[in-house]
Every structure is written in C-alpha cells, then in structure tokens.
Structure 1
Amino acid sequence: MARTTSSPAPAAVTPAVERVLAIDPALRKTGWAVVECAGGVVKAVEWGVIHNKPALLPSGCLVSIRAGLNEVIVRHSPTVCAIESTIFVQSYKTAIVLGTARGACLIAAAEHGLPIYEYAPREIKQAAVGRGAAQKEQVAFMIRAQLRLRETPEPDAADALATAITHFQNTSAARVTERETRRV
C-alpha cells in the first residue's frame, strides 16, 4: 500500500494587531478608548467616559476609575496602554487631583501587565488636529473624521481616541526609523 505524505498547510499569515487602551485621565470624567491597528488600518473598537458624580469622594472616584478600566481591559484584551501625561497647571491642588486620577489609571494598566506609554497633551492635539493648541471640540470633530465614526464622541473620549492615534503615529515612526538604521 502506497503511503502518501502531505505537508501541513502553510499557516495563515495574519498581520500583527496592536490593540491600545488609551486614556485621558481626570477625577470626574476619565475618557478611555480601545483602538486597534492591523495592517496599517486604524479602527476604533469602543470608547467611553467613566463619569463620577460630584457627591462621590475623591477616594471613591479612584476606585471607580480603576474598576471601570479593569472591566474594559478584561473585555477587550489590549496589548498596550497609552495615557495623556500630566499637563502644566497653575494650581497645585489641580495637579494633585490629576496625578491621583492618573495613578488609578496606571495601576489598572500595570495590574494587567500592559506596557505604558505617555504622550503630552500638545502632542496629542497636534496628531489629531494639526496644531497643539486645539480646543476639545476641534479634537472631537477631527477624530470623528479620521476614524470614520458615525457619531462625535464626548470630548473626553475623543481625547482618549486621539491619544491612541498619537501612539500609533509614534510607534509607526519608530518602526520606520528602526528599519532605516538596519538597512544595509
């Protein structure tokens, strides 16, 4: 009896998918977005805002932010986290409040082992609108157009979506540079 052998079918080549959890931290309205890039195509998966009521104590807000982001991470399994860095503020109190909100966000991402990248607010606005001094409404409008969304996201969610776009632009530029330095 003749024996036939067959080689295994070649594995399907799937483009590497990077899925970013992007965050615009704030104590009362933390914007978040999950955006993925596969084969150079950027797609918004889901976005939203963690709303904390004014009556909620700051400590309760931090727990709410961490819990909300944990739910998003479990639901979407991002591969990386991108977060807006601390902005220059004239009030120490505001800086401390923003810092604690960022801390809750960073802990949520770190607990799941996500690499974390920070981007300056001006850099995010530059990536979204083309100028670093853009208003939140301008960012939301441009993000809607860039990602071909059916609705304009809330400003804080739009900022998170813009943070993801900034991350993809930066990592794409780094890959090109790396290829160029290795080119013989």
Structure 2
Amino acid sequence: MARSPGTADASTAPQAVERVLAIDPALRKTGWAVVESVGGTLRAIEWGVIHNKPPLLPSGCLVAIRTGLSDVISRHAPTVCAIETTIYVQSFKTAIVLGTARGACLIAAAEHGLPIYEYAPREIKQAAVGRGAAQKDQVAFMIRAQLRLRETPEPDAADALAAAITHFQNASAARVTERETRRV
C-alpha cells in the first residue's frame, strides 16, 4: 500500500516529547528538575538545588534563583514549567519570603516563554508517595524508585522531581480542561 507524501507510518512517526522544568521554590534552597516524557516513559535529565547561604541578602537570593533557573532553561530547553504553590504558613513573614522566591522562579520561566502550571504540595506528595502528608525523605525515596535513579536526590530536588511527575499525571487528555485552570 502506498503512502501519500507528508505522512508517516505509526511505527516511524516521531514520538511527542514534553520536557518539564519543575520547581520547588524557597529562598535558601530552591529545588529544580528537568524531566522528559517520551511515549509515556519518564526520564530525569538533571536535577539539583540552588543553595543560598544565610549571609546572602534576600535580594541576592532572588537574583541567584532567577539566574540559576535561567541557566537550566538555556541548557535543557524545557517546553513547560511546573511549580509548587505556596504552602499555608502561620507566619505572614514566611509567606512573603516564600512568595518572593516563587516570584523569582516564575520570572525565570516567563522570560523564556514557558507555559507555567502550579500544583499544591499535598497533590505533589500524593503523586510521589500515595499520601499527601508524606515526609520529605519518603518523597525522595519514592522518587528514586519511580524514576530509577542511581542516587537519592536531595529533598528539595526530590520535591521538584515529584512536581514533574505530578504534571505528567495531570497532562492526560482526560484532564486537559482541569490542567488549563492551573496555568499561571
């Protein structure tokens, strides 16, 4: 059977690749990860934590976060960004600090034109561990197993990897409408 020009057999068609930059924002330890999905198989490309030492002023931390994430975006060319929402905190001061760190992350992604989706911390833990009240070490252990990593990532990087998994779980065709409501 002849094929018409411009079409491909299902066996030779390129598989859609989505590459996510996932972020767990914090002023002193911003976790990040780049994960891609090819044909439904997830692969962690790179992950890490942007460490800002206490002597660095908060304004310097924000610059370091934005610069660090911009470097990651330039290296890996993600197609989308998934970020953890700000958690409920008792202190207004803590909420403001977390909000500013999250703002630096959002600016880095927006400057590169990435669509940004947000996910609640409980939802991310649920995707990684199966329960929304999991501890950071439990998340790290499960992420290592799920992504078949050789080493257990730092807790903040593990949270970012979990955010990527959450994004891919929410990316199914049945949830497209719900996913668009998460877009920042």
Q: Above 0.5 in TM-score?
A: yes
CA distance in 1, matches of 2:58, 2:175: 43
CA distance in 2, matches of 1:9, 1:77: 27
Match of 1:150 in 2: 150
Gaps of 5+ in 1: 1-6, 179-184
Match of 1:78, SS state, is coil
Match of 1:160 in 2: 160
CA distance in 2, matches of 1:73, 1:159: 18
Match of 1:34 in 2: 34
What's the C-alpha RMSD, in Å, of the aligned pairs? 1.4
Matched, 1:72 2:54: no
Matched, 1:94 2:94: yes
CA distance in 2, matches of 1:143, 1:91: 30
Matched, 1:13 2:19: no
The 5 A counterparts of 1:32-71 are: 32-71=32-71
Deviating runs (4+, > 3 A) in structure 1?
A: 7-12
Match of 1:132 in 2: 132
Closer, same or farther: CA 137–109 of 1 in aligned 2, 3 Å: same
Deviation of 1:177 (Å): 5.3
Match of 1:176 in 2: 174
CA distance in 1, matches of 2:57, 2:156: 21
- Which residue identity lines up with residue 25 of structure 1 in the other structure? P
Match of 1:144, SS state, is helix
Deviation of 1:84 (Å): 0.1
CA distance in 2, matches of 1:165, 1:8: 37
Work out the number of aligned pairs and report it. 170
% identity of equivalent residues: 83
Gaps of 5+ in 2: 177-184
Deviation of 1:13 (Å): 1.4
Report the TM-score when normalising by structure 1: 0.89
Deviation of 1:55 (Å): 0.2
Deviation of 1:176 (Å): 3.4
